[in-house]
Structure 1
Amino acid sequence: MYLRQLQEGVEVLLQRETLPEAERDQLRQRVMILDAWKLAKKALSAGDMVQLNTIAGHLHPPELNDETLWQQFGLAPFAITWRMAGNFPPMISAIQKLRQRARLEQDHSQEVHMLWGLIAAQIALGQLQEASTCCQELQQLITSLHIPAPLVAYPSLFQAQLAYARNQLEVAQRAALEAIQKAAPFQYMDILMGAYEVLVHASIARGELSKALQVLNEMEGVNQAADIPLFQPWIEGLRSSLWLAQGNLASAADWAEHTPYRQEALTGSVYSREGTYLTLVHVDLAQQKYQQALQLLAALLESAEQVSRVGSMVSVLALQVAALQVLGSTQEALLVLARLLPLAEPEGYLRPFLDAGEPMQQVLQAWFCQEQEAVAPRLSTYAQTIFKAFASEQRQSEMETSASLISSGHPHALSPSTEPGLEPLTPREQEVLCLLAEGATNQEIAERLVISLTTVKKHVSSLFLKLAAENRTHAVARARELALL
């Protein structure tokens, strides 16, 4: 409605015979911008990437000699195309220029519109720290300017996405629910679908599968009512992820076999469907189709690398580590991990590692066994943080399993054979454990690690305690049982 009124106003002005030619040209350009904006919205709803590129190809990027509002409208078709293609660097560059002008003109209301696009791009590029800062600025502007819904919901959506990437699952769920509550009365689909996606993923990660199913069904109902094909691949991928979590591999495998998205990802992926492509990888891994998974990951990695989309690279590389490990290619997996850790550490990613599952945990253990002298201390600390997150999830899963067994009156709910959550080993303990497995004596370990004999004995005693082992042989055996070696 607003765009139609805006265009009618411009067309009325064009009918004035006394209008200077320069102003007439500017108004004609504005009409073209509005026409392109309407076509772009229609193509976006249909997920028509070809049409979006065609629209952008017939336009020139907005000039800085027009009003900020019209620069924003002029940027929109390009921003939509860049976002669909996952090509965010030019989008950030263009938005930063417009934001700078809005700031100079103290047009804070336009700055709000610039900021939400900027944050979405930063998250995709893996710039989580910058996105967090901008999100705080956006929230402050919205509060001070009393910006109405649905834009008021964007900070909650971004907080949910950032929290999930860092494995702050309760925060992610709470923020996603806030975004949904704020956007639902307006049926603002960009916010709604993004928030539903986070809420489903976070619920699955916490083992709340009934809740995940409820949210997913609600998401599908909202999308069916809006009739927007763009989000259908999201829903299909999320449902398949839920099937995997439920142990329903047959349904997930059937979907993966018949979906067109695999071929699409291999020949020309669409960024908005990346989550669906990654679900296909998880299904491949569950079916032990490791080479097929690696082929798809290679295509996705190439696409992300071409536009420096680090957020995507982190997710893809994490799954590459897992796929290589289950293939028995631990050394190759370690090489990929060595590339992944420096990319992910500055931004505090955790969830992509955890979503890669036990194979990632095994490769991390192998990484700790390597020589650590050349490794930056921050990377070692970061790897230990990831490993602790794995241990925490395992303890939580065991507690939920025990609670479920107790509530159902299972006779073995409190069986002493139930494996308690393992306290994570420190990097040095992992090194000592690897040398114990090689048969090294305490003196040999001290010499290899250049530490005192007393320190070695302390580490060995700590290993016995953590592994519930009675001696060195038992410790190595327990470590192998727990996939620590």
Structure 2
Amino acid sequence: MRALGHLYDDVFQQLAQRENSSSLYLALMQVRQASLFHEWNQLAEAEASAQHARELVQRLKLPISTMLFISSWVQVRVAWALGNIDQAKQLLTQAAFDLATFPHPSAPELAHAGKRSAEIFSVRFALLQGQLEQAEHWEARRRLRFDDRLPSPLSRYDYLDYVTLARILLARGRLQRKPVALTEVLMLLDQLRTISVRRNLAGWFREIQILTALVMLAQGQTRQALFTLGPVLAQAEPEGYVRLFADEGEGMAHLLAQITPFTSASPDYIQLLQAALVPMPQAPAALSLPTSRQSLPDPLSPREQEVLQLVALGLSNQEIADRLVISLHTVKLHVKHLLAKLAVINRTQAVARARELHLL
């Protein structure tokens, strides 16, 4: 990705020196650069590039409706990363309208590809909001199953379909507490992993491993999840991936809080990812997990519960040690474990998260 970023810079410099630059080529580069900026969490730059691409497509009436939609999708994800959920919803609605009304190219396969992209993006956004029912409607309409014999060769759009199905199964397993869905998603991910390795598709492989780690976490196999995620982090750091991890929300926060012994990625990189995490919305009432200690993948011990109560009172580590008649070192360990189990990065967030779970 670093090399790609330098390439885009060089391309824009070359285009700026030409009087008759291709507007289509320029718009394409703007869309691709916007996606790159978003992944690096350079959100202002991503928004500017995406908006520039949209303006070029609309002003020059370029016959690439999918380009218009992809630039809109970048804007949706930027709004989401900034916590502007209502704005993200409005942008996605507008993007779907643009795709439906914008003149399509003569090739019907491109129009069909654009429609598939729009549906997948809408499903992904619904899952980000914890709206499983909407995603399941898409699943039923597409008639996809975890044990399907995958098309050969697997196209990019086929991959997007099945990795989206994997996300639906993961959400079903977590939100509806259906262990069978978690078993199914691992079987599907195994198939996708085999294909990604055989074809040397590193981008697919990274996403598959991240989803595998999140499934393992949902199954209570936290250690295995950390072993799976650790190498992915180490490989992603030199390229600057941020949103790939940060957009996964609470499950990723829980893993990042414990990942240090399981990866060679630097502490600075892990902190960068933690700072970029977006808290996931609460699931709908009918699907929400029980608000009790047992809703945590790794429940608090009685001593950790005691320490949590004292943290909530604002006591320092030394004051907690004095109150419980234990060493300062032991208190620090308990606090560290608390932060990891609650998937937060500081004491203030721990107290807030504990109250959400009715632990206080």
Counterpart for residue 198 of structure 1: 121
The alpha-carbon deviation at position 268 of structure 1 amounts to 3.9
1:148 to 61, 66, 70: 61
The alpha-carbon deviation at position 362 of structure 1 amounts to 4.9
Give the aligned CA root-mean-square deviation in angstroms. 5.7
**CA–CA distance in 2 between the matches of 1:116 and 1:441?**
62
What runs of 5+ residues in structure 1 fail to find an aligned partner?
A: 1-87, 214-236, 244-250, 403-417, 421-429, 452-458, 469-474, 480-485
Counterpart for residue 182 of structure 1: 98
**CA–CA distance in 1 between the matches of 2:33 and 2:194?**
19
Secondary structure, in 3 states, of the residue corresponding to 2:149?
Answer: helix
Does the aligned pair in 2 maintain the 1:173–1:198 contact within 8 Å? no
Matched, 1:173 2:89: yes
Counterpart for residue 150 of structure 2: 264
TM alignment of 1:84-99, pairs within 5 A: none
The alpha-carbon deviation at position 321 of structure 1 amounts to 0.5
TM alignment of 1:242-281, pairs within 5 A: 255-256=144-145, 262-264=148-150, 268-281=153-166
Counterpart for residue 383 of structure 1: 274
**CA–CA distance in 2 between the matches of 1:191 and 1:113?**
19
1:353 to 248, 260, 263: 248
Secondary structure, in 3 states, of the residue corresponding to 2:150?
Answer: helix
Change (3 A) 1:309 1:433: same
Larger radius of gyration: 1
- When normalised by structure 2's length, the TM-score is 0.57
Does the aligned pair in 1 maintain the 2:31–2:70 contact within 8 Å? no
Kindly tell me the number of residue pairs found equivalent between the two proteins: 304
2:214 to 315, 319, 322: 322
- When normalised by structure 1's length, the TM-score is 0.45
Higher helix share: 1
Matched, 1:294 2:186: yes
Counterpart for residue 445 of structure 1: 330
Letter in 1 for 2:121: V
2:20 to 107, 112, 117: 107
The alpha-carbon deviation at position 180 of structure 1 amounts to 3.1
Secondary structure, in 3 states, of the residue corresponding to 1:389?
Answer: coil
The alpha-carbon deviation at position 379 of structure 1 amounts to 1.1
**CA–CA distance in 1 between the matches of 2:218 and 2:130?**
24
Fraction of identical pairs, as percent: 10
Change (3 A) 1:159 1:321: same
The alpha-carbon deviation at position 200 of structure 1 amounts to 3.8
The higher-RCO structure (CA 8 Å, 6+ apart) is: 2
Counterpart for residue 116 of structure 1: 28
TM alignment of 1:188-227, pairs within 5 A: 188=104, 189=111, 190-206=113-129, 212=134
Change (3 A) 1:447 1:94: closer
TM alignment of 1:389-400, pairs within 5 A: 389-390=279-280, 393-394=281-282, 397=283
Change (3 A) 1:296 1:156: closer
Secondary structure, in 3 states, of the residue corresponding to 2:60?
Answer: coil
Letter in 1 for 2:224: E
Counterpart for residue 342 of structure 2: none
Change (3 A) 1:264 1:187: farther
Does the aligned pair in 2 maintain the 1:290–1:327 contact within 8 Å? yes
Letter in 2 for 1:201: R
The alpha-carbon deviation at position 382 of structure 1 amounts to 2.5
| Cα-to-partner distance string for 1:401-436 (whole Å, 9 max, x where unaligned) | 49xxxxxxxxxxxxxxx949xxxxxxxxx9x95996
**CA–CA distance in 2 between the matches of 1:141 and 1:461?**
41
Counterpart for residue 341 of structure 2: none
**CA–CA distance in 2 between the matches of 1:462 and 1:90?**
37
Does the aligned pair in 1 maintain the 2:24–2:62 contact within 8 Å? no
TM alignment of 1:358-377, pairs within 5 A: 360=252, 362-364=254-256, 366-367=258-259, 375-377=266-268
Secondary structure, in 3 states, of the residue corresponding to 2:180?
Answer: coil
Counterpart for residue 333 of structure 1: 225
The alpha-carbon deviation at position 204 of structure 1 amounts to 4.5
Letter in 2 for 1:389: P
Counterpart for residue 136 of structure 1: 48
